[in-house]
Chain A
């Protein structure tokens, strides 16, 4: 594979998408990784020998997945409107979330995760507490009252302690006006107090559940993926700072699973891998004077 010229880099030779190659030089492709490994680290005189290519491919992909989980810091963002069902379906390449924000009035407001249960299954029950079943002998389900109360806004929240108001939002007749707001405007639990909507992620269901104040609002999900690009091998890439690490990772993974390899060789491969990961993480963290200076500027700020 040859390097691309600058015209192709900037314009992709006028073939859509013309921005295809922008920034591509930072990355090395999966094809290059597997080719280079087979060429340089596998063979008659190498520690790795007679391994099927699919095993090398597997370990290369697994290494890239692992790097995507914590080392790459390649965070994807998706903005969607949350409608009245108060759900945000997780993206198809979602692995874990980084931050969930409400985008309102041109302001990004990071949201708090609700530690309380926000959604539940519910079975249809008869008056005698027994269940009913459908034609395939599965128990009949219904929307839980937890879900319905969350969706209609009647679910009380520990995140914004509600004032003790009546159904018309007035102070109840037998309550002192100030007592009404104890625990709401006064005596808030500052650990959980937040006027923004809250959310809970239902991983198995593949949705983020919000409280009712999120209805018809814009939500920005920042998340990480595993870098597998929907299974398209030609799109899988790796930052060049991790190139040496991925070779070490593949080598270690192959040797570690091979019968009869001496323990000292495995340990050497393991140390290589660990040291290279550390180096790559330091490189990627991009500590340079400009950033340090930026952080140090904040140290004189007065705390009020």
Chain B
């Protein structure tokens, strides 16, 4: 998908000889555009839920929320967390949202830890009825570390997490240059396609055009990208 997106972007900005963006610039804009759209998925997902609650959303093929869920779930990862100290574990470097923290002991799953804010954890821990327990553990977040309670969860493989990771940085790669233009080569080791679904190609083009328009100081290109994006949003 990345090559077709790049071709489309170049086709638009080459019109009237507006300019040219290098592969490295394209990769930067592509990364930024993908992150923008990735963020929007969560906002749109929430909006769809609100529409469902307002009973203005359908089921079956009209279930837009389901589509959003599928895309978000495609970034889901479940992995053990590295132990930093006794009951302190390091979050993965590529996490966007921690969805679940799963606690095990002796290889047996015990319970899902609940995230508790720093302002509540002291009160929670001192409550007889709700203090974190093996069945109902809790964790707090500080920097990229989580502290799991009760402290009996302190094994190297006791804590795993299901989280949504950031999409990998897209990279349009080439190996040869022909007629002054690089030739796309997806066999390169650092090649990385967009991870968003194909139907996001139009949005990616619009977003990249906006960044490219600013880069080459062409307001028309920027406005074109912006209008395209607004139209697509309205259709959704």
Contacts and interface: CB of A to CB of B under 8 A. Distances in A.
Interface of A: 30-31, 34, 44-45, 52-54, 57-58, 61-62, 228, 231, 233-234
Given A44-B49, A45-B52, A45-B53, A54 B133 contact: no
A286 B124 CA distance: 40
B136 A57 contact: yes
A26 B126 CA distance: 32
Given A44-B52, A53-B136, 20 more contacts: A30-B135, A34-B136, A44-B49, A44-B53, A45-B53, A53-B114, A54-B130, A54-B136, A54-B138, A57-B130, A57-B136, A58-B127, A58-B129, A58-B130, A61-B130, A228-B128, A231-B133, A233-B135, A233-B136, A234-B135
Q: What 5 pairs across the A-B complex have the smallest Cβ distances?
A: A54-B130, A53-B114, A233-B135, A44-B49, A61-B129
Contacts of A45: 52-53
Given A44-B52, A234-B135, A52 B128 contact: no
B166 to A, nearest CB: 25
B116 interface: yes
Nearest to A46: B53
A231 B132 CA distance: 11
Contacts of A234: 134-135
A54 to B, nearest CB: 4
Contacts of B52: 44-45
A278 to B, nearest CB: 26
Interface string B189-231: 0000000000000000000000000000000000000000000
Contacts, number: 37
B40 to A, nearest CB: 19
A61 B134 CA distance: 16
Nearest to B130: A54
Interface residues of B, number: 15
Interface of B: 49, 52-53, 114, 116, 124, 127-130, 133-136, 138
A29 to B, nearest CB: 9
Contacts of B135: 30-31, 233-234
Contact of A54 (B53, B124, B128): B124
Pick from B52, B129, B130, B138 the residue with the most CB of A within 10 Å: B129
A52 B133 contact: no
A234 B110 CA distance: 11
Contacts of B134: 233-234
Contacts of A231: 128, 133
Contacts of A30: 135
A54 B116 contact: yes
Contact of A233 (B49, B116, B124, B133): B133
Contacts of B114: 52-54
Contacts of A52: 114, 116
Nearest to A52: B114
A238 to B, nearest CB: 15
Nearest to B131: A231
Contacts of A53: 114, 136
25 contacts: A30-B135, A31-B135, A34-B136, A44-B52, A45-B53, A52-B114, A52-B116, A53-B114, A53-B136, A54-B116, A54-B124, A54-B130, A54-B136, A54-B138, A57-B129, A57-B130, A57-B136, A58-B129, A61-B129, A61-B130, A231-B128, A231-B133, A233-B133, A233-B135, A233-B136
